[in-house]
Amino acid sequence: MAAEAPDSGGAAVDSARRQNSRTNFRRRLRFPGPVRNRPREPVRSWVMNPTEVREALETGLIRVRRSARRRKTIAVSREGESWLLAVPQRYDPVRNARSIGELIGRVQRRSARAPRSDEALMSRATALNERYFDDGVEPVSVRWVGNQSTRFASATSAERSIRVSDRMREVPEWVLDALLVHELAHLRRPDHSAEFRALTARYPHTERAEAFLEGFSAGERSARGEQRPSGE
CB 43 within 8 A of CB 108: yes
Distance set, CA 57 to CA 43, 71, 78, 104, 179 (Å): 21, 21, 14, 13, 34
Which residue spans within 166-224 are E strands per DSSP? none
Each residue's pLDDT tens digit in the chain (232 positions)? 444 444 445 555 455 555 555 555 444 444 333 333 333 433 344 578 999 999 999 999 999 988 887 778 888 876 656 788 888 999 999 999 999 999 888 877 766 566 678 998 999 999 999 989 989 999 999 999 999 888 999 999 999 999 999 999 878 888 999 999 999 999 999 999 999 999 999 999 999 999 999 998 888 887 777 665 544 4
CB 88 within 8 A of CB 67: yes
Q: Tell me: domain 118-223, CATH 3.30.2010.10, correct?
A: yes
Output the pTM of the full model.
0.53
* Domains of the chain by residue range: 41-113, 118-223
